[in-house]
Amino acid sequence: MPAEKAHESPGAMLDLYNHPGHLLRRAQQISVSIFYDELGSELTPVQYAILSRLAEHPGIDQVSLAGLAAIDTSTGATVCARLEEKGLLERRVIPHNRRQRALRITEAGRALLDQLVPGAQRLRERLLEPLSAQEQQVFMGLLAKLVHANNEQSRAPLAVPVADK
């Protein structure tokens, strides 16, 4: 056992303020706060994720879209319904599978996403601002590795688009 570890109390390993789960939760809180500062209150972060994935996958069904945004299907259905109420997406029953709905972003939805691009860029800059350019690259690489390696542990794992498989 290294000398510096020999003097630590058994609870030091459980220090809340150094626990990765706690720090990730705090980082999420900070991210959401800055999201609203920079993008306003027109969309929630989850609505933004759904709409941005839909813009890249027009005609996708609700279940697949939820997978691409890494949210559970019931939340995905609720979010899609809310975005439809706002006139930002359209849902249509798929003729060969009447239980599924094909989704398309509306012109209003695309216009809103385009309008939010500068805010999304500022959000990223503000979140990473405390880090040097090199630290930002290392942090993003390690964060992506942590998320991808633990994807299957999620209650709503990120689905890989069929075209990317």
pLDDT at 9: 60
Which residues have a Cβ under 8 Å from the Cβ of 29 and sit 6 or more positions away? none
Assess whether pLDDT exceeds 70 at residue 80.
yes
15-151 under CATH 1.10.10.10, yes or no:
yes
- Continuous H helices in the chain: 3-6, 20-39, 45-56, 62-69, 73-85, 107-128, 133-149
Instruction: Name the pTM for this structure.
Output: 0.83
pLDDT at 18: 85
Rounded to whole angstroms, how far apart are CA atoms 25 and 31?
A: 10
pLDDT-based confidence at residue 155 (cuts at 50, 70, 90) = confident
pLDDT-based confidence at residue 153 (cuts at 50, 70, 90) = confident
**With contact defined as beta carbons under 8 Å apart, do 39 and 120 qualify?**
yes
